[in-house]
Amino acid sequence: MEPTRDYPLFGGAFSTILPPGAIDVSDLRPVPDNQEVFCHPMTDQSLIVELLELQAHVRGEAAARYHFEDVGGVQGARVVQVESVQPLSLENLALRGCCQEAWILSGKQQVAKENQQVAKDVTLHQALLRLPQYQTDLLVTFNQPWSSVGPENLSPPPWSLGDFEQLVTSLALLDPNIFGPQ
Q: Spell out the per-residue pLDDT of the chain, length 182, in tens.
A: 677 889 999 999 999 999 999 999 999 999 999 999 999 998 889 999 999 999 999 999 999 999 988 876 666 666 678 899 999 999 999 999 999 999 999 998 877 666 666 777 888 999 999 999 999 999 999 998 876 555 556 667 899 999 999 999 999 999 999 998 76
pTM over 0.85: yes
Comparing CA positions, the residue from 130, 131, 133, 129 lying closest to residue 181 is 133
Task: Could you please state the CATH topology (level 3) that the domain comprising 6-179 is classified under.
Answer: Protein Transport Mog1p; Chain A (3.40.1000)
**Complete DSSP assignment for 152-181:** TTSSSPPP-HHHHHHHHHH-EES-GGGG--
Comparing CA positions, the residue from 122, 121, 129, 112 lying closest to residue 50 is 129
137 vs 66: CA distance, rounded Å: 11
Residue 76 CB contacts under 8 Å (≥ 6 apart), including other chains: 111, 112
Q: What pLDDT does residue 74 have?
A: 66
What Å distances lie between residue 162 and 97, 102, 139, 165, CA to CA? 23, 17, 17, 5
Q: Are 138 and 129 in contact (CB under 8 A)?
A: yes
Q: Are 94 and 172 in contact (CB under 8 A)?
A: yes
What Å distances lie between residue 92 and 26, 97, 167, CA to CA? 29, 11, 12
- Domains of the chain, by residue range, sit at 6-179
19 vs 16: CA distance, rounded Å: 10
